[in-house]
Amino acid sequence: MSTIFAPSTAPGKAGVAVIRISGARAGEILTILSKKSLPEPRKAVLRHLYTPKTGEIIDNALVLWFPAPHSFTGEDVVELHIHGSRAIQQILLGSLSEQHGLRPAEGGEFTRRAFENGRMDLTQVEGLADLIDADTARQHAQAVRQLSGGLSALLTEWRLELIQLLAHMEAYIDFPDEDLPAELEQEIQEKVRRLRDKVGTYLHDRRGEMIRRGIQVAILGAPNAGKSSLLNWLARREVAIVSHIAGTTRDILEVQLDIDGIAVTVSDTAGLRESSDSIEQEGIRRAKARAGESDLTILLFSAETFPQIDKETAAQKGPHALQVVSKIDLNAGAEPSLPKGFIPLSTHAAITDAFMQALTKELRALAGVDNDILFTRERHRAALTECHTELEACLQSRGREAPIELSSEHIRRAAQAIARIIGTIDTEEILDVLFGSFCIGK
């Protein structure tokens, strides 16, 4: 296998740049560049680096040597911490490209080698990708748990249970004329039922995907209810045009926010009302569609017309919704008499505390406890669904006293579904997509 190299830091000028080399020739290349023997493993040392052709000094660098298998990739690895000027990086990368057996790494190739050498499983690779992409504290915490093996440990435990169960069942396949002992039959059904219920609990929990992509929040209300003003206030900048003219917003405007460490995408939508304008009708259709796709809806009712409730807006109330009476400063008598479940708000008069407390509370409830092990991708959900289906089929087959071979096949398929999440089988297509999303040098 070729020895590969690439910058591990972002391109361009910086205080420090890191060049990573991995493969059988990594140690030899370090001795060529530094004109010295290899340093003590995993200990940073200061070395001059020289161009192999001319012997000119490239830079004074901090170098680290990680012999296999105790490295990120499981191969011999060298890291060169150099000054981050473009010239130094270009000269060093040019010198490396001239060495026999070395080539530039492809996107994600270092991580792919780590996976192929058993340094991490597929869920940990995904955790690393999420860690690199994390924008908020909750995304960071979730990615660290997954990279540290939390999800992998849970799946490995489930798979081991299934394999042990399969071994017990297949022990009787060679003796087709013998019935399963009653106690073993009961044990099999209890274990399968318990694991099916565990998988089902995780299958219906979408918090991991929600945290990873960001919680989707839609602001809905009649024209001039204050939707655009609320979006601008949340974003702390002028995202949407605010006008007294009804129907200004025709399309959906989105802004990505970090609220209490949680990634949130807030959408401003067209005002909900009856309209003969075809363009406005399309905007209203999109607003309602976005409401159906959102994890949380903010329903705005203007204090100017309260307590009269806009029926178009009220109809969009879903399982997670905040009912907000906006422009509360324009109706001085409304705030003390608001019915239970309605929150006062005025971005103009800074009456925002109750709204932010309610919004943060709802987002925390959707995101859940910070240290939970969560599934984070649609492929996880597809495999869990398959596992759950096979476990249910196994229970049904035992209930009708089907041949043990049929029941054991359901268990085998359930174990294979779990193995696909970890990455021990059927991974090539997944790997191509996943590693293609990594930057060069990772």
**The predicted structure's pLDDT at residue 329:** 84
**The predicted structure's pLDDT at residue 114:** 95
Residue 78 vs residues 38, 63, 86: alpha-carbon distances, Å:
10, 7, 20
Is pLDDT at 179 greater than 70 in this prediction? Answer: no
pLDDT average, residue stretch 155-160: 95
> Is the separation of the CB atoms in 191 and 165 below 8 Å?
yes
- Proportion of the chain above pLDDT 70, given as a percent: 91
In which order are the strands placed within the sheet that holds 45-50? 45-50, 57-66, 77-84, 14-22, 3-7, 102-104
Helix 150-170 to helix 137-147 angle, to the nearest 10 degrees?
A: 40
pLDDT average, residue stretch 341-359: 89
**Residues 77, 64: Cα–Cα separation, whole Å:** 8
**The predicted structure's pLDDT at residue 168:** 81
**The predicted structure's pLDDT at residue 245:** 61
Q: Which of 178-187, 271-280, 288-297 has the lowest mean pLDDT?
A: 178-187
Question: CA neighbours within 13 Å on the CB side: how many for 105?
Answer: 26
pLDDT tens, 278-328?
A: 887 888 899 999 999 999 999 999 888 887 888 889 898 989 999 999 988
Looking at the DSSP assignment, which residues form a beta bridge with residue 84? 14
**The predicted structure's pLDDT at residue 131:** 95
Is pLDDT at 208 greater than 70 in this prediction? Answer: yes
**Residues 13, 87: Cα–Cα separation, whole Å:** 9
- Quote the DSSP letter at residue 327: -
**The predicted structure's pLDDT at residue 426:** 61
The C-alpha R_g of the chain, in whole angstroms, comes to 29
Q: Which position has the higher pLDDT, 378 or 338?
A: 378
- The total of other beta-carbon atoms located within 10 Å of residue 306's CB is 21
> Is the separation of the CB atoms in 339 and 354 below 8 Å?
no
Is pLDDT at 353 greater than 70 in this prediction? Answer: yes
Is pLDDT at 88 greater than 70 in this prediction? Answer: yes
User: What average pLDDT does the structure give for the chain?
Assistant: 89
All CATH 1.20.120.430 domain ranges of the chain, comma separated, are 122-205+376-423
Single-letter residue type at 270: A
Single-letter residue type at 165: L
pLDDT tens, 96-115?
A: 999 999 999 998 999 999 99
Query: pTM of the full predicted structure?
Result: 0.82
Is pLDDT at 216 greater than 90 in this prediction? Answer: yes
> Is the separation of the CB atoms in 369 and 379 below 8 Å?
no
**The predicted structure's pLDDT at residue 442:** 66
**The predicted structure's pLDDT at residue 207:** 92
The superfamily CATH assigns to domain 3-116 is: Probable tRNA modification gtpase trme; domain 1 (3.30.1360.120)
**The predicted structure's pLDDT at residue 333:** 60
Strands 57-66 and 3-7, sheet pairing: unpaired
**Residues 72, 437: Cα–Cα separation, whole Å:** 19
Question: What is the CATH code of the structural domain delimited by 211-367?
Answer: 3.40.50.300
Question: What is the CATH code of the structural domain delimited by 122-205+376-423?
Answer: 1.20.120.430
All CATH 3.40.50.300 domain ranges of the chain, comma separated, are 211-367
Is pLDDT at 175 greater than 80 in this prediction? Answer: no
Joined together, the tokens standing for residue 174 give 């060679």
Q: Which of 193-197, 258-262, 281-285 has the lowest mean pLDDT?
A: 281-285
Q: Could you tell me the pLDDT band of residue 371, with boundaries at 50, 70 and 90?
A: confident
**The predicted structure's pLDDT at residue 256:** 94
**The predicted structure's pLDDT at residue 433:** 66
Single-letter residue type at 208: G
Q: Could you tell me the pLDDT band of residue 335, with boundaries at 50, 70 and 90?
A: low
Strands annotated E in 73-188: 77-84, 102-104
All CATH 3.30.1360.120 domain ranges of the chain, comma separated, are 3-116
